[in-house]
Structure 1
């Protein structure tokens, strides 16, 4: 028996907007040509969700300096790119920005489970640190870099 209808669903994640466009066009072309070759019709409903996240290099350096002052250089780490989806990327399409991970893990306080895990918990002291980083960044931004980061 041959099915009279097929539905294919999936998710496309990229680091680059050009690659995202290329993949969409390639998927549409493959679906169309495959269906035409089989004598079938095709209906493509390609829905775009969040764009690729892009951290502005200049802003990244500025925020890195603020965070190093607030939490110490030894506690600020560069991460490999991630394929997560985050709606903050819509803001970054309009203005330069930086998306960064706060780091609320604490093995001593049982804050070791990842987000979306039923036992997720964060060390709330991280909220104080991130508040200091945000405040330092805002003061630094509005003073053209003349203000030292707020720390202790």
Structure 2
């Protein structure tokens, strides 16, 4: 009879531990959802729906109406010029970065240091350090 009470006690203890773990998991999930909704500045329901941008979903009809308004205001030719201008700016920016990299590449150096030290057992060990650096002046500093 006493063994049966011990089994019930063990079962009840295990059940309480499992229920407590479930409650803590639920509370942790709710807390995480709340924190993420505050960080992303959206409601928890929008976060659960997957709308984390904070913007409402736009239907294709709304998009076409907005596009028509933009085209009327700016004109189709103006938009094409802006697109070509952006591509031109992007190419110029790419060329400028390439020139800067080619100019400063000789000043970027790799540094490798090796020293020989004696360990506590009297054996010679070689230690190595690796890094990189930039030379600012012509005399090497």
Q: TM-score, normalised by structure 1?
A: 0.19
Q: Which structure has the higher relative contact order (CA within 8 Å, separation 6+)?
A: 1
Q: Which has the higher helix share?
A: 2
Structure having the higher strand fraction is: 2
Which structure has the bigger radius of gyration?
2
